[in-house]
Each structure stands twice: as C-alpha cells, then as structure tokens.
Structure 1
Amino acid sequence: MDLNTAAFLLGAFLCSVGGTEIEGYSRTEGAWILSLNKRMYSVSNLAECADKCNTETLFTCRTFMYDENDRECWTAAANSKTENIMRRGNTVLYEKNEYLLECANGIGTDYRGTKSRTKSEKVCQRWDASYPHRPNFTPQSHPRADLDSNFCRNPDGDKGGPWCYTTDSQKRWEHCNVPSCSGECMVCNGEDYKGTISTTENGVTCQRWDSQKTHNHDYHPSSLPQKYLEENYCRNPDGDPRPWCFTTSPSKRWDYCSIPRCTAEPSTIVPEVDCVTGEGVAYRGTIAVTESGKMCQSWSAQMPHKHNQSPENYPCKGLDNNYCRNPNNERMPWCYTTDPGKRWEYCNVPRCGVARIQDDPVIPPNEEDCYEGNGVSYRGLTSETSSGKKCQRWSSMTPHRHNKTPEAYPNADLRGNLCRNPDGDKAPWCFTTNPAVRWEYCNVKRCSVRPSEISSPQPHIASIAIQTPPEKDCKIGNGETYRGPTSVTANGVTCQAWSAQTPHSHMSFTPETHPTKGLEGNSCRNPDNDVSGPWCYTTDRDRIWEHCQIPDCVEMKCGTPVIKPKRCFSRLVGGCVSNPHSWPWQISLRTSIGKHICGGTLIYPQWVLSAAHCFESSKRPSAYKVFLGIHTEQGNEPSKQERRLEKIVMGPNRADIALLKLESPAIINDNVQPACLPEKDYIVSSTAECFVTGWGETQGTGGDGVLKEEGFPVIENKVCNLPDYLNGRVQNNEMCAGYIEGGSDSCQGDSGGPLVCYEQNKFLVQGVTSWGLGCANAMKPGVYARVSKFMDWIDTTIKAN
C-alpha cells in the first residue's frame, strides 16, 4: 500500500490530531499540490473552502488547499496520487478520502482510485478515447461515474468489480486488479494487510498494540502511524514473512497469524536495473557481489547460512538467484554471502544520477551545532524539529513523498535524517515522521547571536552595554532576565517568533518595541515582568499565548549537559571521542587502588547505577571508589571528584544491575550532573536516538584513554531474540541496541555504563551496559539492563537507605 492509501486510512486520525477536522478529508500541514485544473477563491474560513470543493463545477474537485493567513482557498482536480506534493508554509492540504482509497467496497461502484491496469497487466484505454475500442461508457454518458483518465471504474455495476477498456485491440475490456477493502487476505508477505483478524494461527487472542500488558514491546501505534497498528489486529510492521501479533498468553510473547493469500496478483513496481533510489527496495539488477567482494549466496539456498528470507516467504521481493536485493527495508540492497565466516553484507549498487552517497558515514561533528546565514552550509547532527518531532530520512518516501532526495540535491549533504536546507529556505528544516505534519524548521540555533542592545545614554555618561545572564535553561525569580533556548510552552506548543505577526498579530512585544528583552527568535521570554514567569505567543491559531515551563536555577536538573555532546553515529568500535564533560553523569568505577574496571551513571547526587557483574570479585564497598567529572581514563583533571562507596545493592532476582551509594553526595556543577530516569515499564522506540559512553576496549580504532561515545539504534526484543540474532537469550528486563551489520558496539570496560536516549530535550538513562556475544559482530547487538523495569526497585532502595 502506498502513502496515499495510508493517508485515507489515517484520515480521521490526521484531521483530529493535526487540526480542525473536515469530514471525509485527510489533512497535511505545510503542503501544496500542483494541478493544471485549479481555481482560487477568497473565503472567510476553512469550512467555506471545503464547501467550494464539494460544489465545484468546472472539474471534479479531489483536493483543496487553505491558507489561513490570507484566507485563500484553492480547489484542484489533482491529489497526491497523481501529482507531486510541494512544501509551502502556512498552507494546509485537504484531500478527499474517496479518491485516496485503493481498494473496492463490495463490487466497487464507488471506487475512485488510480489503478489503470487489468488483471493480465494490460494498460487501460482512456474513457474519453475511441481507439482501439469505441466505448459504451463515456464521461459524457455517465457523468457521475467519474470516468476520468484511464482509471479502473465500475459504471454499470458489474458483479466482477472495477474494469476498463484495454489498449489491446484483441481484448475489448477486462476486470482490474483492485483488492477488496475487507482486507481479509494478504499479498506478498502481508506488510499491507489491514484486515481485522485478531487471533494467532494457534488460536490465541492478540494483545492490543497500544497496550503493554501482557507483553512490553516497542511497536507503539503513535510512533509507527504508517503501520496501522489498530486494536489487536494482526499486522506485519517489521517485514516478517507474514502478519503476526503479541499474544495475551504470558507463555507466548508473539505468534504468526493465519491470513490467506489473495487471489489477485500483488501490485507491480517499476524495477530499477542499473541503479537504486532511496533504500533500493525496487532494485532488480544482477549485481551479486558484496561491498568487500564476497559472492552472494542464492536466496533459495540454506548453505552456508540458514535464513528465512526465501522466495517462498517473500514472493514479491525479486529474490531471484543470488542477486543483491532489499526484502526487509534495510538501508540498501544486500545479500547473504558464500563465506561461512560472514553471514551477510551490503552490496555496492550505484545510486541513480550521482556517485553513490554513503548514507550513514562518520560525520565530523560541528561542536557548536549551529548554522550561519540561512543554514545552506549547515552540516550538524540535529535530526529533530523545533517542536520535537523526529525527522524523516531524506531517502525515504514515507510518511511523506517528496523530491528532496540525495540524488536530486547531491551537494546538499542529504544523509540520514539530518536537518539540512537543500532549497535555500530561511533555516535548516526536514520532513517529519508525523504523517499529519509534512515539514518543520529544525531545533538548531544561529551561530552568531545579535549583540546586546545599548541602553539610552544619560547626560555626560557614556552608553553602557547591558549584560544578559549566560544562556542557562533555568530562570531566576519570575524569569525577567531569562535568555535560555526553550521555545515550547508548558503544553508543548511551539512558540511564534516575536518578530512575526502570524498566526497572531501583535505589536505589544517585538524586538523593536523592547530591544533589551531578548526577543530575538521564538524563545520564551518575560518582557512584561509577568509574575508567573516567561511566556510566548504560540503557533497554535486557537491559543494566542501561553506560559513556558522554565525551572528555577536553584533546582537540580537532570539529563541536560552544559557542554553539548557530539551525538556521534560513527559505526566504529568505541565510536567517537566525546567533547570533554559532555556526558556529565558518566562515572568511572575503580578498584581501591584506582584502576578503572567499569562504568556507571549518576542518577542522584549520592547514587550511581551500574552492572552487578562488575562486583564479581568483591561485594565489599571498601574495595571500590568512584571518579566523577573526568574525561580521561587516567582521571587527573582538576574537575575530578573522588568518592568512596558506602553501600552496594545488587539488583533483584540476580538481574545485572546494581545501585551504589556514595559516602558523600557529589557536587553538582557543569562537569557533574545526573541523568534523568525513565518512567516505569517504558519501552524505548526503535526510532529513538540513543548513545553509549565509556572508556572500554576500542579494538584499535583510536581514542584509547579518553571517554568515547557512540549512537545506536534500539532493536526490539522480538527481533533480537530471533535465531539469526541472539536466539532467545534476551530477557524481558533487558534490551538490545546496535547495528545489525556490526561494526560498532559497547565492549570490555564499558560494562555498567549508561545507554542514554534523547527525548523531550533531555537524556534519560534507559539501559545499563550488560553483555554481548563478542564486540561489534554482525547480528549480535549489545544487551543492556532495561532501567524502566527496575524503577520500583530503584525507588524502594533509595528510600530505604
């Protein structure tokens, strides 16, 4: 199913969460569609614009666009299935759901999709054409049947469903390959199955996708909206051989569902033979050699590597011979190798139009992570929008189709999902992973800050520059002097720029009227000395202004380092050398004579989280000490704080986690700060941005003796426990993280250290480095104690001691 069908099925959801709901339409913010048949109206409100589309007479209106600022309304004959969607600020695109639906209800008399091939793959003849067949049904004779272009329709109520005249002179007409909307059958491996079967093949009832009972999992409907994880229906969100679900049985975490195969053939793709676009899912070329020169194993063979990526399990993925393919939506085409010592590798398939672009290279980090001018040259690592939404990958077409690809903009450095400015907009931006919001500007500040304004001169006294406090994200008193970066209200709404007059027009507080109040950008400020603290105008048209949630500076903060981390994704064992003191919760656990043995995480001034196996040699507190505030393993910096241990508390049920109580609390400063703790039973999303830090073994990659960092994707336990991975070894109170192709991992000496994930503008410790099968091996990610599963134990232990 393509994005446009997805838009229909999510229509009600998108309208309700993204803004004003218009019945029968799907809503996309910041979007515009090109159409030769369009008409502009001046209207008073959104409802009036929708009415213009519903009563349009010049053409069949499938879409309307509404500009709130100018009260402009455009009706159009095209939609996202027939034309490209463009970026356009302040405009909302509404598409009629009936024209997005690519399945038939009943016999399909109301089908208005864009299928234009018959079951035997013959191209349909246009309804208004008279060659090669003179039609009995035309747009003029049946104006209500929507006989547009050469799309399949059912104007005569044929019991066989939608049909068309063909362009084959020997075959006048034929039924089309339009699936039933009931969805109780699957094509390919069922990734597009949207039916309502909710029991496994063994008769067990499925668990709801939005529930964490009976089994915790990472497949959140909110974070995977394009996967349609509704109710407790069987789905295939991860590219398995067929649909499955978590079960309501405590003894069976998940199981496959019994979904029959559809009789209709699956929809065809346009094959890419000589090169690839995006992730290369459509590649059907004949390259059969990996990046390192290894010959590929045949997909139908089980030697030397056993696997389930077979032509039988994945009938639509082109698994012919031993050619490189991408059946499971990896980064690029790959194959199993004929080398028994190397299970699989990516293939060196060229990208269409340009020399191959490495999608996840080692990026020299910009330590300031800020942009100059309009940010066209920005090459930082931010991948989050100003409102906290995660960016969509530039090479991906879901949830938003676009033309801002690495191939189309080879000089724009469109790698991964990093914020960029390929089209010369006013600041770096990205498409978002939220289907309802097409794009937003990114959470990146300008490198150059406007100089402080000069106070009004007094007689015979030179003008004095007003000094503002440093940009700490906390306030003193009511926050009149607050100059921090927060630009979101207490309710999570993005702030409107103080210099902007949309969506809310105001002249009371602007950089010109209050030049000394720090009203540059859209950060929260208190220009009128409000007793309740900093506030801002909002980007929500229904809320003119709101207060911001700025903590007091005296309050101890967690998870917000003063020195910004590099947030490195290098795919190297040991990762990148960290900015000194950018991970201020990292501690070094040492023997009593000062030898580093493990890492740990400061979670309160007097408490550290580490791994139980770090204390196998001795459980006496006097045998250990902790260094805080250091960057080098040698630990001789002036910032070092040294503490003896008062108590060691081992985790419950022999879990590999431990709490350490320091003899005296750490002094919280710029170099020493606790990480935040997660909510109880919270499951980290596979899309989360997570990092491991430590002084562990680097296996010759450099940076020995200094703190290193590495960004990892989290791998759902269902995947991690597959036979190809860790084969059922991972427990419910553990989690996996790493690259499935290997190349980067936590290693010896990192044990007990933090796995932190960046969420809501702070770092939360989600894992404690525990174990792994070797270091950085393919299909063998690192395993971490899942901190959220131990929150009751952490709270009880600290309160009791």
Structure 2
Amino acid sequence: VCFYFIFITLFLFIDGTEVDGYAKTEGAWILSLKRQQYSANTAAECAIKCDAEITFTCKSFIYIEKDQECWTVGANSKTETILRRSSTALYEKNGYLLECVNGIGTDYSGTKTKTKSGKICQRWMAKYPHRPNITPQSHPLADLESNFCRNPDGDSGGPWCYTTDPNTRWEHCEVPSCTEECIHCSGENYRGKISTTEKGFTCQRWDSQKPHNHGYNPSALPGKYLEENYCRNPDGDPRPWCFTTSPSKRWDFCSIPRCTSEPPTIVPEITCTTSEGGLYRGTMAVTESGKTCQSWSAQTPHKHNRTPDNYPCKGLDNNYCRNPDNERMPWCYTTDSETRWEYCRVPTCENGAGPGITVINEDDDEPVIPTEEEDCYVGDGTSYRGITSETISGKRCQNWKLMTPHSHNKTPQNFPTADLRRNLCRNPDGDRAPWCYTTDPRVRWEYCNLEKCTRFPVYFILYLPTCLSVAVLDCKIGNGETYRGPTSITILGVTCQAWSAQTPHQHNSFTPQSHPTKGLDGNSCRNPDNDVNGPWCYTTDRNKKWDYCQIPDCAGLKCGTPVTKPKRCFGRIVGGCVSKPYSWPWQISLRTKSKRPSAYKVLLGIHTERAIEPSKQERNLEKLVLGPNRSDIALLKLQTPVLINDKVLPACLPEKDYTVPSETECYVTGWGETQGTGGDGLLKETGFPVIANKVCNRPSYLNGRVKDHEMCAGNIEGGTDSCQGDSGGPLVCNSQTGFVLQGVTSWGLGCANAMKPGVYARVSKFIDWIDTTIKAN
C-alpha cells in the first residue's frame, strides 16, 4: 500500500499568559454586579488585586492587555452569564470551579442544587417554604448565593441545603469527595489520588505522551479531571484506569475499593432522553430496526461485559435500552445472533432538557450538502451561508446547538433567521465578520477563517541594497504575528499612534523596548501579542485607544491549504458524497500493471478516475521504499518533480508521535468501491471521528487487532468508511496549519460495518523513518 506526499514544515508560536491557580478563557467577558476596576500592567498583577479584594469574594478577574485594564469579579462562569468580547481574557480561580469537597466541604463553592434524594434546594435568601436560620446576612462569608449546596455551619455530613419540599426542611447534598479513595458506580466521579494500577504499574501522567501516545488530552477534556497521573474513568469503562509508565503495558485498570456509603441518587428519565440518554430508565426493549433486546445479565446469544455487576448505577435491568458507556444514545445487545447490538430510537425530551442541556434531534441534524458558492462574505457577513467551520487560528467551531464547552444564548431558537446550522461560521449578532464559539475550552470564540468577497490589492515594496533585491508583501500570514508591512491605518481609517509614543494614549505594554523583536518601529500595524484577529495599533483618536487594521491574507500555496475549499461533507464514501474538483489536491491515483517500480504511474491534479483533465500531471516512479517492520506504508520517489499549483498541493505532515484526540473530525477521500451508491469514477469524500485505540481494541470492536502504529476512525454504528480501492489514500485532519496527513488507509473488516471502524497507518509514528529515507534517497 503506497502513498505520495510532499511536505512543507510550518511552525506556529503561541504566546499565552498563564496565572497559577486560575483557568484562563480567551475572548470571554462575565456579567456581574460585584466587580471592581483597576489598572494593571500584567495579568499576574490583576490576580494580586483579586486575591486582595475586600469588598466581595473575588472568584475571577478579567484582564484586557491592550488597555492594561483589570476587573475583579465576585462570580464565575458557573453562576453568571458569559459574553464574548474581543481581546479580553477571563481568569477563574480553580478552587471555585471544583465540583468535589475536601473534608466536610466547608469551603465547597460548586453548583450542586439537589439533595441526595433529588429534591431541589431552596434559595438561601428565600423564606418559603422554610424560614431559614442560616442566611446570607447571618453568614456573610459563607458564599450563600442562589440555591447552591453549602456547609456554612460545619455540618459533619457535608454540604446541605433547605429544600423546596414543604415536608422536608433540609437534606445533605450528594457532592463527591476530592480525596476519598473509593468509587461509586463506575468511578466516573472519582477524584482521588491513587496512581497505581491493579497489576502494580505506575500511572503515566495524562498530559504526557511517553511512553504511550494517546488522545486523552486534559485541556481537551476539562470535565474529566485528568490531573497528574491519577486514575480516572473518562470514557465509560467499568472502573477507573490509566496509561502506565511501562512500555510493555499500555494501560491497566486501577484497584480502587467501592464506597460503603450509598451511591448518588439520580432523577431518572422514563419516557424520553436528554443529551446522550445516560439517565434513561424507561422500558423500551426494541432496537431501531425492530429487534428484541437481549437481557443485560445474559451471555447468549452475545457474550459481553456490559453486565449489571460491571456497570452498577446504570439501570441494567431486564433487557431495557440503556446507555451505560457513553455511546451517543441508548442501545442494547439483540437477541438476533447475526446482529450484536443496535441503537434504540428513544424519543428526545424536547421540552425537558433542563438548564444547561440542549437536545439535538438526530433527524434534524442530518448532513446538509451545501450549494456550490464562493466561500467569502459580503459586508459584515450577516448574510454569509457558506460551509467554513474553523476559526482564524484553525480551531474547530462548536455546534450552535450545544452548550459545551461554552454555554451561550446564540441558539437556532433565539436567532431563527441566522441559519445557525451545525458548527458553521455565522454572524447572528451583527459583529464585524462571521465568527463561532470554539471547541477549545480555553478560547470562548474567534472570528472565522474567511475573507471578504471584495479582494484587496497586494502591494510590493522593493528594496535594492547593492545587488540584492528583497520583496516585502503588504499582507499577513495567518494572524499576522510576522507582519512587517507599512500599513498604518486602522479598519475605520484612523491613523495609528507610534508605538514609542505615549500620546494621545499612554501605555507600556507594547513598546519597542518591551518587545524589541516585534517590529514596533514607527506607527505601522503589528501583532505583538499574537492576537488571533490580526494586526492592530494604538490610534491617534483620543476616543479610541486601539483598533484592528485591515491587512489582507497573503496569497500563496501552503501545505494542507486547498485553494478550492472542500465540502467537508458527512455523507459517505460507501454511501456517496462527490468532492468538489481539486478540493483535496494531495490526492493521487497510483496505477500499475506489475509490481516493478518502473511500471507504476503516478497521476496528480485529477478529479475523475479516467484522468481526462487538462490539469493532469503524470510521473513515472523511480523507487519504492516499503515501510519498516512490514508496516502498511511506503514512500515513492518520482523520476521528475511535480508542479505545485492550485490543483496539486501536499498535505502537511504531523508532529512526531502525535496522537489525534478521540472524536476529532477527519476526512478520507478516494475512487474506491461505492457499493452501488453512485458517484462512480469521481473522487468522493467523507468525514468521521477518530476512535481511541483503547476503545477500538475492545472485544466487541476490533478485539485487540489495532497496533500502536495504527489508528481507528469511523462511525461505530457503521455506514461510513473507506473501502476497497481506497487503500493507501489519505486520512487528513484539520489543524491550525491546515489539513494534516494523520493516517493512510490500511485495512478493515468489511466496509462500513457497525462496530468495525477502518484502520489507518498512523503517520506520526513514521516521521523519523520518512526523514531518514528522504535523506538517504
């Protein structure tokens, strides 16, 4: 199995300001009546002012670096509305974000609002249905806000609250311990510090990729508390586990005793589901195709480990549809020996989602193949209806219907005319350009990677020192951190203030002295703080301290950046989605009549399998180098170079040993078997998520067949896959630098079968071999 590539190395430097003890979110502003404004030269100085605040309990602060403005706030994202705002950063104290207790929880400041029996808490300032003895006035330092569980009187049973049940004055709340070394249920809420497995292996740190690469990135999974090297259960396994520090043992379960106290009480959903249906406790026992469910305690006709003993608290009674392991909806094993399992079509609770949960109707979110249109925007982009779903820094957009990782009110229901479909870039609120919330928990929102439809001229400044001519483009690459052009006017036409000047605006954050390598000579637009929205400057307008500049993107060809933007559809290769011509310009067709290298032909720049396009480039093969240790990868050396243009362009190579996180959207293309679904002879594409090897190797999936130098991708329910004839083709995933070649189509058990995702050679494991082979040839 062979593939062709050319690569260009790109580097991205991100300059971030972190403050110990605080979680930072870019582009966020918090609404709160309890706040105080100060001047501060750095975020660290602002943190000191927050710690010293005496007028209220400071839980977070906002810092605006360009204005050197500091706002201390008596609230955080758990209790108050978060808005999006350019060039601001929200810093929240980690202690107030914890949803577990230390000791008896006198310092607990989380947001639990239900008691152990599921009763809703009464507000602390309310006098009905119970007249409280403990109030915000009697205990001003106890943080008695709203109706959150607290322990203001040092009760030995932990946090509690008055209830809204007239017959029950108060009850304790079910808040997990931060230090308790035992587990309830499957240990999903375990927050202890055990870091040794049941076989005696020491756990590997979650933020480390050695000795085992993995996709369980703490920053990408903030709600899973992947701290240090502590045992955790982030993926719905029977109990907590960890990767080990032994090269010979990838991962292992941890030996943590079960708690003797009662497990947390859940409020079940009986007739419908919210979110992924983990709380569904109804009696549906038939799959979506009409098959009867197998009892969870039975092992015939299908053997499995999703038993009531392994998954307590999951309601695995009889043969009812359930979701014990974080699938996307309730499911069950079937009584049909030919069908191991299927999803159940349980109705969604359209009006019963509750706060913080948004229900997605699966039928309503089916893929929509957009019309062919130029992917640019007019004016402020309010009318933009294109398909871009990535930000200016390359982050993937959050689905408008979802409330994670960022809660918001820009929903399709609130903005019905804004076309807030899926995670497509839009401008529902009349901002200056299309934008989206991001899937990065640390960055609330960003403008999208889009240009205006009216093209700006590219100017050339020519310097002639002796015999050397150097051309400097007045355009930016990426966010313009390296921009050194002469533009010195803001987006509104205001002349820039010189960086060394202190009038009309006084500042000391960005000067030629403080940032000597940032090109802050004169008054030209620059990006010294790596602002994702591009170059800016202080202005000569006394009423406007600073503003962005209108700098066009440099025209050019970079790896992984097609000139023709792909559809990125979620149709199927087996099932059919024809690509835009030349939107995947690294795709080649490798043809041969024998296994001799001289018999191979490499066709580039084509869209049809017949290869009749005028853009076709045909090259002969000089050498074929097979991958090490019989791995399913190879390098091809061409007899003559190819011409890089808008129809022939390489994908980027990944970092060495990089592991693509689980659920990352990736795309595969090919002219392979379509099983009668149409589009034969044309390049087809599909997108689907990466599946962690740990999950893919489960007995019910590929049963340990996937090696460390391979990766899985596909939809667990089937229907989307690469197929015969696609072998050797690219699996690319989007990143800040463009599309990266993360996988090479290798093998699978059939095409698009449920529980049998496709397997790909993991390119990041071969970076050293690629480099060595190229140098040797």
- If the length of structure 1 is used for normalisation, what is the TM-score? 0.77
- 1:228 is matched by which residue type in structure 2? Y
Is the 1:107–1:160 contact (alpha carbons within 8 Å) kept by the matching residues of 2? Answer: yes
In 1, the alpha carbon distance for the partners of 2:164 and 2:735 equals: 55
Alpha-carbon distance, 1:746 to partner = 0.9
Q: Which runs of structure 2 are paired with 1:305-384 in the superposition (5 Å)?
A: 305-342=302-339, 343-345=341-343, 347=345, 349-350=347-348, 352=350, 357-364=363-370, 366-384=372-390
Aligned residue among 431, 444, 451 for 2:450: 444
2:103 is the alignment partner of 1:106: yes
Question: Residue in 2 aligned with 1:783?
Answer: 759
Alpha-carbon distance, 1:710 to partner = 1.7
Is the 1:586–1:693 contact (alpha carbons within 8 Å) kept by the matching residues of 2? Answer: yes
2:233 is the alignment partner of 1:241: no
In 1, the alpha carbon distance for the partners of 2:309 and 2:199 equals: 21
Q: CA 1:220 to 1:77, structure 2 compared with 1: closer, same or farther past 3 Å?
A: closer
SS in 2 for 1:430: strand
Question: Residue in 2 aligned with 1:750?
Answer: 726
Question: Residue in 2 aligned with 1:44?
Answer: 39
Q: CA 1:630 to 1:138, structure 2 compared with 1: closer, same or farther past 3 Å?
A: closer
Question: Residue in 1 aligned with 2:203?
Answer: 206
In 2, the alpha carbon distance for the partners of 1:549 and 1:372 equals: 15
Alpha-carbon distance, 1:234 to partner = 1.2
The percentage of counterpart residues that share the same residue type is: 67
Judge which range, 385-394 or 291-300, deviates more.
Answer: 291-300
Question: Residue in 2 aligned with 1:581?
Answer: 582
Q: CA 1:102 to 1:591, structure 2 compared with 1: closer, same or farther past 3 Å?
A: closer
Q: Which runs of structure 2 are paired with 1:19-168 in the superposition (5 Å)?
A: 19=17, 21=19, 26-34=23-31, 38-39=33-34, 41=36, 43-45=38-40, 51=49, 55=53, 57=55, 62=59, 78-89=75-86, 91-121=88-118, 137-148=134-145, 151-164=148-161
Judge which range, 537-546 or 338-347, deviates more.
Answer: 537-546
Task: Give CA-to-partner distance per residue, 1:414-449, whole Å, 9 cap, x none.
Answer: 444333334444433222222222222222233x21
Q: CA 1:587 to 1:63, structure 2 compared with 1: closer, same or farther past 3 Å?
A: closer
Is the 1:771–1:783 contact (alpha carbons within 8 Å) kept by the matching residues of 2? Answer: yes
Is the 1:421–1:429 contact (alpha carbons within 8 Å) kept by the matching residues of 2? Answer: yes
In 2, the alpha carbon distance for the partners of 1:136 and 1:348 equals: 45
Aligned residue among 405, 428, 431 for 1:399: 405
Alpha-carbon distance, 1:54 to partner = 5.6
Alpha-carbon distance, 1:161 to partner = 3.1
Q: CA 1:641 to 1:329, structure 2 compared with 1: closer, same or farther past 3 Å?
A: same
SS in 1 for 2:364: coil
Alpha-carbon distance, 1:723 to partner = 0.8
In 1, the alpha carbon distance for the partners of 2:130 and 2:536 equals: 61
Alpha-carbon distance, 1:704 to partner = 0.4
Provide the aligned C-alpha RMSD in A: 4.3
Is the 2:34–2:74 contact (alpha carbons within 8 Å) kept by the matching residues of 1? Answer: no
Judge which range, 766-775 or 305-314, deviates more.
Answer: 305-314
SS in 1 for 2:728: coil
Q: Which runs of structure 2 are paired with 1:242-321 in the superposition (5 Å)?
A: 242-265=239-262, 267=264, 271-273=268-270, 275-321=272-318
Aligned residue among 210, 213, 217 for 1:216: 213
In 1, the alpha carbon distance for the partners of 2:93 and 2:297 equals: 44
Q: CA 1:767 to 1:160, structure 2 compared with 1: closer, same or farther past 3 Å?
A: closer
Alpha-carbon distance, 1:747 to partner = 0.8
Alpha-carbon distance, 1:264 to partner = 4.7
Alpha-carbon distance, 1:166 to partner = 5.5
Q: Which runs of structure 2 are paired with 1:500-511 in the superposition (5 Å)?
A: 506=497
Is the 1:375–1:420 contact (alpha carbons within 8 Å) kept by the matching residues of 2? Answer: yes
Is the 2:301–2:337 contact (alpha carbons within 8 Å) kept by the matching residues of 1? Answer: yes
In 1, the alpha carbon distance for the partners of 2:128 and 2:220 equals: 49
Question: Residue in 1 aligned with 2:516?
Answer: none
In 2, the alpha carbon distance for the partners of 1:764 and 1:588 equals: 19
Q: CA 1:272 to 1:370, structure 2 compared with 1: closer, same or farther past 3 Å?
A: farther
Question: Residue in 1 aligned with 2:626?
Answer: 650
Q: CA 1:130 to 1:719, structure 2 compared with 1: closer, same or farther past 3 Å?
A: closer
In 1, the alpha carbon distance for the partners of 2:649 and 2:671 equals: 18
Q: CA 1:65 to 1:340, structure 2 compared with 1: closer, same or farther past 3 Å?
A: same
Task: Give CA-to-partner distance per residue, 1:2-38, whole Å, 9 cap, x none.
Answer: xxxxxxxxxxxxxx996463x7654444334455xx1
Task: Give CA-to-partner distance per residue, 1:163-183, whole Å, 9 cap, x none.
Answer: 455666776655443332214
Q: CA 1:772 to 1:245, structure 2 compared with 1: closer, same or farther past 3 Å?
A: same
Unaligned runs of 5+ in 1: 1-15, 453-466, 470-475, 509-527, 593-617
Question: Residue in 2 aligned with 1:558?
Answer: 559
Q: For CA contacts below 8 A with separation 6 or more, give which structure has more relative contact order.
A: 2
- 1:487 is matched by which residue type in structure 2? N
In 1, the alpha carbon distance for the partners of 2:558 and 2:581 equals: 19
Task: Give CA-to-partner distance per residue, 1:559-586, whole Å, 9 cap, x none.
Answer: 3333322222214516421222222222
In 2, the alpha carbon distance for the partners of 1:300 and 1:497 equals: 71
SS in 2 for 1:795: helix
Is the 1:105–1:180 contact (alpha carbons within 8 Å) kept by the matching residues of 2? Answer: yes
Q: CA 1:450 to 1:264, structure 2 compared with 1: closer, same or farther past 3 Å?
A: farther
Is the 1:733–1:785 contact (alpha carbons within 8 Å) kept by the matching residues of 2? Answer: yes
- 1:106 is matched by which residue type in structure 2? G
In 2, the alpha carbon distance for the partners of 1:588 and 1:99 equals: 56
Alpha-carbon distance, 1:777 to partner = 0.5
Is the 1:649–1:660 contact (alpha carbons within 8 Å) kept by the matching residues of 2? Answer: yes
In 2, the alpha carbon distance for the partners of 1:266 and 1:412 equals: 44
Question: Residue in 1 aligned with 2:423?
Answer: 417
Aligned residue among 624, 632, 635 for 2:600: 624
Question: Residue in 2 aligned with 1:456?
Answer: none
Question: Residue in 1 aligned with 2:356?
Answer: none
Aligned residue among 709, 712, 722 for 2:688: 712
Q: CA 1:482 to 1:633, structure 2 compared with 1: closer, same or farther past 3 Å?
A: farther
Unaligned runs of 5+ in 2: 1-13, 352-359, 461-467, 500-518, 538-547
Alpha-carbon distance, 1:263 to partner = 4.2
2:380 is the alignment partner of 1:385: no
SS in 2 for 1:358: helix
- If the length of structure 2 is used for normalisation, what is the TM-score? 0.79
Alpha-carbon distance, 1:656 to partner = 1.7
Is the 1:62–1:76 contact (alpha carbons within 8 Å) kept by the matching residues of 2? Answer: yes
Is the 1:18–1:436 contact (alpha carbons within 8 Å) kept by the matching residues of 2? Answer: no
Alpha-carbon distance, 1:478 to partner = 5.1
Question: Residue in 1 aligned with 2:592?
Answer: 591
Is the 1:387–1:488 contact (alpha carbons within 8 Å) kept by the matching residues of 2? Answer: no
Aligned residue among 480, 485, 491 for 1:499: 491
Task: Give CA-to-partner distance per residue, 1:383-438, whole Å, 9 cap, x none.
Answer: 22222222233343332223344565566554443333344444332222222222
Aligned residue among 616, 640, 659 for 1:664: 640
SS in 2 for 1:627: strand
Alpha-carbon distance, 1:294 to partner = 4.0
Is the 2:393–2:478 contact (alpha carbons within 8 Å) kept by the matching residues of 1? Answer: no
SS in 2 for 1:793: helix
Q: CA 1:40 to 1:234, structure 2 compared with 1: closer, same or farther past 3 Å?
A: closer
Question: Residue in 1 aligned with 2:174?
Answer: 177
Alpha-carbon distance, 1:716 to partner = 1.6
Alpha-carbon distance, 1:698 to partner = 0.7
Q: CA 1:272 to 1:357, structure 2 compared with 1: closer, same or farther past 3 Å?
A: farther
- 2:252 is matched by which residue type in structure 1? D
SS in 1 for 2:764: helix
Count of residue pairs brought into register by the alignment: 710
Q: CA 1:437 to 1:289, structure 2 compared with 1: closer, same or farther past 3 Å?
A: same
Q: CA 1:264 to 1:411, structure 2 compared with 1: closer, same or farther past 3 Å?
A: farther
Alpha-carbon distance, 1:728 to partner = 1.0
In 1, the alpha carbon distance for the partners of 2:628 and 2:607 equals: 32
Question: Residue in 2 aligned with 1:610?
Answer: none
- 2:685 is matched by which residue type in structure 1? E
Q: CA 1:656 to 1:625, structure 2 compared with 1: closer, same or farther past 3 Å?
A: same
Alpha-carbon distance, 1:742 to partner = 0.9
Alpha-carbon distance, 1:41 to partner = 4.9
